[in-house]
Amino acid sequence: MLNVVGKVVILTGASSGIGEATAKVLANSGAKVVLAARREDRLRELKSVIVQEGGIAEYKVTDVASHAEVEELARYTIETFGRIDVLINNAGIMPLSFLHEKKVSEWDQMIDVNIKGVLYGIGAVLPYMREQKKGHIIDVSSVTGHIVRKTWAVYSGTKFAVRAITEAVRQEEAENNIRTTIICPGGVATELSNTITNPDIKKSIEDSWDVALSPEAIAHSILYAISQPENVAVNEIIVRPTKQE
């Protein structure tokens, strides 16, 4: 039996792309998933698909840039399922731009969602996981958390930060039996490019997705990390399309 059966998993960014695919894969493998994002219609629909297929899912509308809402998400999960085995910090946005364009509000949004959202999630679940003496925090970074290119300055900065934060959690919480995993996808065809407001950059990203992976490829790497025996921490996984440079 997979080591995922019965696990209570909070998943942010569950309303589309990698999060949606991961919710389905984990629920099909026996996890109890708590779906979080801002678009309630998408979450309601996803819950109903999972339940129709025999899985267990609940949802909580959550803006990860709100500390109070993320704390509420953790409380809701405890009230509903009694524990939190896994947190997947997957919510993210990618409004790429050149620095000289000075899209300050986009810089702020990326920092709020991609960095603060991850920190708020970790802060919200740690008290419960420390009490349980068991837990697993999975943070979705990116290949752009390893390398940087033109127009990626802030986005890459947030994804480097995610890797740094996750490594610190690993060191601080190892003695509490809390394991960590960093997931670094390469190109995956999702709605992520919708937040890019510079049309040329948006087009070049979408053009590069002709070799992109489906979100299920990333979902399966997350399933792999969760499924390992409790003493095995898969600390980082990089998954690129074979044809991505």
Catalytic residue annotation: 155
34's enclosing H/E stretch is: strand 32-37
Q: Applying CB under 6 A, which of residues 135, 157, 185, 241 lies at the interface with ligand NDP? A: 185
Site for ligand NDP contains 161 (CB under 6 A): no
Nearer to ligand NDP, 114 or 227 (CB): 114
Alpha helices in 53-198 (DSSP H): 67-81, 104-110, 117-132, 153-173
**CA separation for the pair 5, 8 (Å, rounded):** 9
Closest contact distance (angstroms) between CB of 57 and ligand NDP is 15
Nearer to ligand NDP, 44 or 133 (CB): 44
Site for ligand NDP contains 181 (CB under 6 A): no
* Residues of span 82-141 touching ligand NDP by CB under 6 A: 90-94, 113, 140
Closest contact distance (angstroms) between CB of 108 and ligand NDP is 12
Q: Applying CB under 6 A, which of residues 7, 9, 17, 35 lies at the interface with ligand NDP? A: 17
Closest contact distance (angstroms) between CB of 107 and ligand NDP is 15
* Residues of span 225-244 touching ligand NDP by CB under 6 A: none
Q: Applying CB under 6 A, which of residues 8, 9, 10, 13 lies at the interface with ligand NDP? A: 13
**CA separation for the pair 164, 156 (Å, rounded):** 12
221's enclosing H/E stretch is: helix 215-227
Among candidates 81, 88, 73, which has minimal Cα distance to 17?
Answer: 88
The per-residue DSSP string of 129-164 comes to HHHHT-EEEEEE--GGGT---TT-HHHHHHHHHHHH
Tokens matching residue 135: 């837990």
Output phi, psi for 242, to 5 deg: -55, -40
Nearer to ligand NDP, 22 or 229 (CB): 22
Contact residues for ligand NDP (CB under 6 A)?
12-19, 37-39, 42, 62-65, 90-94, 113, 140, 142, 185, 187-188, 190-192
